[in-house]
Structure formats: structure tokens, C-alpha cells
Structure 1
């Protein structure tokens, strides 16, 4: 399917309401925040992209297609194989290696992204970052591939140059607890202190994580502690948190199927840990240990000040065949129904009123926004609501989120915005969608008499900049 090859350009009022008064006010609010620096407190950009001053973003296929599960999952849903898109396999079996051919397949199916946030981001990247002026389709694929290839070879399109062009104030990566942070140390030696690590211990905390025993051995190596029991395990994690914090980390990140928290005695925790060491732990053991360790991570955050992030509600690797051949993060992680009120009670009763502790929660179950999360955040001083995540970081998803939580939790119990992306060049596009949608929502609330214009302008600044800086202790 192709489109008429007319000039490709952005509507300056995109994402604003059709109603003239709301559109005019949304535009005015947006103009007040459009050029603010980008605060990126959570994401998955690999630090090596910035640690190496000569690094490039690769080919157009490497930049836009192969690593991006937002892209590949949509194409896969329409019968385009992951192998034909160059996605590497676990067993080394053959996949498409001609990047121009991969790009052609992507371009021929670009129409699939119409009406999606991915389509908005991709068009914004192509138009605003790379200056593409023709719609992407089968007819224009080769010409645009050549144009992008030329630009990606130029110094101004290297990651460090784009970092400055994007006006990124701070960017936080997500790093395994066992990471040596060599790239971050290199960046800091060069004065790049605005690229910070984030401590993510899932691979050693979740006993059912793939390669758990090897990950645990690595934890012992990098911490300098032989991890032979639960007590030493906790000590090794605390040592690694101290190491991360010394290199600028202000946050941790934790993923779990449920937010259930449950305190185990040290004896119970060690018994489960010993069964895991012996390869004899059960699914129940793993679930109880994760629930206990979320409490332990909260205890550590209350002590060391690292902001705790909790991403909950994804059934990972739902497509077993795709996972077996291509591994994780290939677009087959599917949302689950989630319960928060009872699940977080142990954690919030222990630390929810502690001024030293901060917890930012993210969900894939929108039904919990108004029923559970907004009331919880509207009570516990330590709790902040993360922005719409993953499938819901969209125009309608942002609007639904604000409609559901602000009346109960207010704006100041929200965490602002984070782009949560692996796709470095998409960062400005994601922030722009958030900023435009927030300003349009605030304009609507103003015209309804809920806010006055000065309040809306202040809240636009908070939602797009101030809240994220303060929530993640980056101010």
C-alpha cells in the first residue's frame, strides 16, 4: 500500500482540539513549555552510545527497525516475520542481513502505524530530526534510505551531537545490578555527569529469571562478596547500590508481575534462597521471595535515598515460540489485571509515610488508576504515580490517565514524564506528544472553569519539567 507522494510536514497544531478556543489556549500553553530542556529519568538507551564519541546510530534499519519492539510487533501482527526484519536469533539461525531490504519491508508496511503513537513518533523523527520531506512508503523507500544513510554518517547526527541538539538536561539509563558501569565511569571522566545509571536488580532478585544462578555468581564477583546465603545476598545488593549512587544514580527500577509485598523472616528468606542455590526452588518460592525483596528494596531506598520505581503487570514472553527463537523484548509482553490496594499495604505501612522514601509506580492495568492508585497516591506521602506506560503512552492514554487520577491525587502527586525508550532518536518525539497532549488537556480544564489560565500555565511547566526533576531528586 502506498500513499500520494506529496510533501510531508507537521501540522503545528497537531494533537490540539478542533474547538477553536481550546486549540488557541492549548497552543499558548504549549509555546510556554515547548523549548524546556528534556528530563529523561527513566529509559533504556544503552550508555555505550554516548560513551564512545565516535559511535553512530548505525544504518536506517538498525536505528528504526531491528531493535524496536514497538515496530516489529506491529509488523509481526500482520504476518511479517521477525527474521525478515533482521531480528537476531538465539541459536544463530539465519535472518535477513540486507539492511536496505529490511528498510523496504518496513517502508512498504509503514501505513500500519497510522493512528498509533508509534506512527506519531516515527514521523516526528523522520521529519524533525532528519528533515525527510516525502511520505515513507514502498515508492520512496530507497530514496529515503539513501538520504538517511548520508545524514547518519555526518558528525551532527552522532549520538553526542544529538544529545545536545535535543536539549537533554539529564538522561538516566537502566543497568543490571551486576553491571560494572564502565561506560558511565568513562562518561564521568569526560564531564558527562548528566548521563546517570539506574540500579535494576531483577535478574538476581527474581529467582525465576533466566540465568539466575549465573547472574548471582556475577553479583558475587562485582561486589567482592561470596554470595552463599541470604544475608550475604542482601549485603552484596547494598554494596552495589552504593557503587551506583557514587556514579550519580538517583533511582532503582524493579519489574514484577504483581505488586504483592510480603515480609518474610530472615530464616524463611534464607531457606528459599538455599533451595534456589540448589536448583530446587518452586514457583511459589520465587513469588514469595520477590514479594519480600520488594520490601527489602524499599527499606534500602529509605536508607540510601534512591527513588524506587516499580513497573508491574506484564506477562513477559507470552509467545513461547518467539521467545525460544528470538529471546525477550520482542513485543510479546502482554498486560495483566493487577491489584494494588492489598498488595502494597505491607510496603506502604512500613515506608509510605517516611520522608526519606519515594516510590514511583507504573501499571499496565488502566482500570486501577481511579479505583486504587489515585487514592493511594492521594494519601501516602512517599507514593508518586508514573505516567502512562508502554501500551498507554499515547494521546488517548495520556488523556485517560489525567482524567482518572488528577481529581483524586492532584497533579503534584504525579511523577511527570519519562520516555522509557530504547530508541534514542525518538526521545524528543515522545516528549513532544506528552507536552502537546498535556497542554490540550489543561486548556480543556481551563475552559470548563476548573483552572484559570495562570494555574494551567504553571501546571504545564510542572507536568513537562518540574515534577520529574523533583520526583527523581534531580533538582
Structure 2
């Protein structure tokens, strides 16, 4: 009998790899410490209308592939019926061979809907019917429980309400704990005064105060940081093309703020100064409250101005940047470390050419207080596929301590993305298993398997220090 495409030993090419995965990795819970899942869908235990909603909604990975395949935008983000969008995606899948989407899509169909059939235009009708039949009995909470997701950290603006997070964890309806992550990117957009001033009104409303002065601005942000802490949040996150470490006094930052409030857009240099000032403030707050900071560096966003104007942000027009990272990142980390205010920090790199830069940089600021205090984050965005995961794992292994790595995340807006953890775990075990078979690691399954378990779950649990359900806390 022909073996299905996705089988028990998928991506596992040695006996040692298979043993590591099935004995040590497969059953570990998931610690999803960075994602973009809508928390309100968790609060409401959302029932998805059909597979198009849960599979295609907000997934710019798939949208990029469909555009590359010549699919009209109407069937991607436009007004086509869900069934038509689904058909357009199924017809695209065979064209994604050797793209990670081919693996992910088949994994998702199998794990959630029990469908092992290859995805194509001919199978679309059968998949649509079978998946929707299963989906009718599968709500958001069911998905989290079935995947043994211990924690979900959503991505939240300081001006966002945190009521949903408080309600989720107060309800007791889930073993999964759901926490907000403080993402203050909008606090930095002084080059867009109209958007900045509109956002300040929202910030003031959330903080319960008027934001007129620069001092008010800092107080309001700190209040919101404290509010995130109050509902259990212990992570911040920042998405920037590069780190910023330009000298900037409080007086200079205040002048830039006042100009933006008056409607004058900050120059590039002023933006760099303002961002540098605030990023140091944010780092100090993280350190003071015992948080972990995440730096997502290296994305060049909104490249297509025509389609940005038509479709908006986060619709699939971002790419890898080649801005040099080392000096600014070093200065930023050192500025916080010099006053003993450098929090636990995870640094995600989007440009694979910088893997060794980041891999050596984290070693400069390990201080012996916390195992793996400064982390080289997992393969992110364009690098969360097998080859780039191996690049990241090899760089960390060669330059730091793979054994202290906090592992994978989904970084996704979709509830169907949890097989990415399986994909990562299979890749990790295949890499280590090959080393064992070659004699480059000892043939000690308990030693290597223990490290696998740590990377899959225990390291993140110890590092991020979030309260978990007792089923996952031990």
C-alpha cells in the first residue's frame, strides 16, 4: 500500500530522529509565546463559518503565493465568495511544491480534519465538504485543547482594551492561559503626525487621562504597561527594521513630540532619536517589572505603495531588509546593560545573512544571572521553514547554547497554525538524529531527548515565567 504524503515519520530520516521525535518531542505541550490570534475569538469560543474563514482569512503567506500564481485579488482579499476563494487556493497549492506552504497546508488538513488527500483543483470539492463537516463541531477552545496549547501570548497595542484577556482567564473555561503582549509600535510614528495624534487620543482613553504633554505621554504608556502586568502579561514586543541607539536627551524627545502634536512630521533623524529614547524607556520598564522583551528586526515593510493604498498594511507586501544591524543593536543592549536594566531579551532576525551577527551579539550580554538570558529567536516569518530553521539552529549551536533555546512559536493569525510546532520539532529531531547517527553527538537518547523536551516546552516555561494551568505548570 502506498504511504501517504504526510506520514508518522515525515521529515525524520534516521532511526535516531524518529526516536527523538516520537519519544520526546511529539507529546510536549505548546508554549505559543508570540502570535497574532484574535483574542476576542478565544473569548467568544468562536465558531468558524467554513474552512475558508479559518484557513485563508488574514494569511498573507497564502495570499502572496496566490498572487504569484496569477490569481486575481478578488479571490484573495476581495469580495469573492468563500467557496471561490477556497477553490482558488486549492488550485494554487500544486504550484507551491518546495514552498513550505505545501507542507503546512497538508499538515493542517490532516491534523485538524483527518484529510490525507493531496490538495488540488480536483480534490477541492471533497475537501470543502469534509472539512466543513468536521469544522461544525470544532470551535476555538477545541482547537487549543486538542493541540495542548498551554499559553497563548497575543500581540496588543498599548491603547487596546484588555477586558477580553481578563475575562478569558477569569472564566476558567480553558486550560490554555491567554496573555497580552505590549507592542507599542504606534508610539514611535512621529513621522506620521495625523495617525500619531489620533492614536494618542486612544491611548489617553485607555490610560484614563488626557495626553497633552510629553510627560503625560510617558505616564500614559507606563500606566498601560502596568495594566498589561495586572492581567498577567509579562512580555513586550517591538517590530523594527533595525535597532535604534541614537543619542537623544529628554528635551530633544520632548521637542520632537511637540512638533508631531502640532502636525509637523519628524525627519528620519528625529524618528531615530525619538525611537531610541523610547526604546530605552520601554527596556527599563520591562526590567523593573521582570518582563521579557522581544525585538523583531529586519523587515522592510509596505514595499508596494499602490497595493498598500488599496489593501492596507499586513496584506503581504513586506520583505527582508538588508540594513546593517550590529552596531546599533550593540549600543542599544549595552545602554540598558550599563545600568543593569537589560531585561531578558529575545532577538529575532529576518535576514539570514545576519544569523552569525546576532548569534555572537547575544553572547556579549549573557551575565550569568539567568540561563539563556539573551536569546537568538526562532526562525521568523520568511525564515520559519525547514532550511532556515536549520540555519538558525546551527548558528545558535555553534555560537551559543542550543540547550537553553526557548523554541518555536506560531507568529500567526490563524488557529490552524499549530502544526508549525510539529514542523519545527520534526526538523529539530531530524537535525539532532543525523548528528547522533554520524557519531557527532553521543548515542545517549536520554541526554539528547532531554534537550529536545526542554526546547519544545520546558525552557520557554522557565524563561517567560507566566502563570499556567496546573496541568502544564509542573
Structure-1-length-normalised TM-score? 0.91
Matched position secondary structure for 1:248: coil
Give 1:373 shift. 1.2
Task: Pick closer, same or farther for the CA change 1:7–1:146 going to 2, 3 Å.
Answer: farther
Q: Are the counterparts in 2 of residues 45 and 173 from structure 1 also a CA contact under 8 Å?
A: yes
The alignment status of 1:238 with 2:222, answered yes or no, reads yes
C-alpha deviation, 1:356, in angstroms? 6.8
Q: Which residue of the other structure, out of 16, 34, 57, is the alignment partner of 2:12?
A: 16
Matched, 1:81 2:72: yes
CA contact (8 A) 2:234 2:464 kept: yes
Cα distance in 1 between the residues matched to 2:238 and 2:414? 21
Deviation at 1:229, TM superposition (A): 2.2
1:361 equivalent to 2:347? Answer yes
Alpha-carbon deviation of 1:118?
1.8
Written as runs of structure 1 = structure 2, the 5 A alignment for 1:285-300 is 285-300=270-285
Q: Decide which moves more: 95-104 or 270-279.
A: 95-104
Any conservation in 2 of the 1:41–1:171 contact (CA below 8 Å)?
Answer: yes
Partner SS state of residue 239, structure 2 = strand
Task: Say yes or no: does 1:430 pair with 2:414.
Answer: no
Change (3 A) 1:208 1:462: farther
1:180 equivalent in structure 2: 161
CA offset digits 1:379-399 (Å, max 9, x no partner): 312421110100111111111
Q: 1:448 to 1:143 in 2, by over 3 A?
A: closer
Give the conservation status (yes or no) of the 8 Å contact 1:7–1:134: no
Name the residue aligned to 2:369. Answer: none
1:345 pairs with one of 330, 351, 357: 330
Paired positions, count: 452
Structure 1 segment 164-179 matched on structure 2, within 5 A: 164-179=145-160
Pairs within 5 Å for 1:23-422: 23-31=14-22, 32-53=24-45, 55-85=46-76, 87=77, 95-154=78-137, 157-191=138-172, 192=174, 194-208=177-191, 211-280=195-264, 281-352=266-337, 354=340, 357-370=343-356, 372-381=357-366, 382-412=373-403, 414-422=405-413
Instruction: Name the CA distance, whole Å, in 2 between partners of 1:424 and 1:99.
Output: 18
CA distance in structure 1 between the partners assigned to 2:3 and 2:79 by the alignment = 31
Cα offset for 1:414?
3.1
Give the drift of 1:8.
5.1
Give the deviation of 1:336 after TM superposition.
0.5
**Cα–Cα, structure 1 residues 81 and 46, in superposed 2: closer, same or farther, change >3 Å?**
same
Question: Which runs of 5 or more structure 1 residues have no equivalent in the other structure?
Answer: 1-5, 18-22, 88-94
TM-score (structure 2 length as normaliser): 0.91
What's the offset of the Cα at 1:57?
A: 2.4
Contact 1:369 1:401 in 2 (8 A): yes
Shift of 1:330: 1.1
1:340-391, CA deviations, whole angstroms, 9 ceiling, x for partnerless residues?
A: 3211233222333748711111111111111x21112123124211101001
Deviations 1:205-240 (A, max 9, x none): 332468221111110111122222222211111100
1:122-156: CA deviation from partner (whole Å, max 9, x where unpaired): 111101210113222111212211222222222xx
1:26 and 1:439 in contact (8 A); partners too: yes
Kindly state the Cα deviation for residue 16 of structure 1 after the two structures are TM-superposed. 2.0
> CA contact under 8 A between 1:69 and 1:329: conserved in structure 2?
yes
- Structure 2 gaps of 5+ residues are 367-372, 467-472
Task: Give the counterpart of 1:461 among 453, 459, 462.
Answer: 453
Cα 1:319–1:364 change in 2 (3 A) is: same
What is the distance in 2 between the residues matched to 1:84 and 1:185?
37
Q: For residues 253 and 218 of structure 1, do their structure 2 counterparts lie closer, same or farther at Cα, with a shift above 3 Å needed? A: same
Aligned-residue offset at 1:181: 1.5
Q: Please say which of residues 26-35 and 199-208 is displaced more in the overlay.
A: 199-208
CA RMSD between the two structures: 1.9
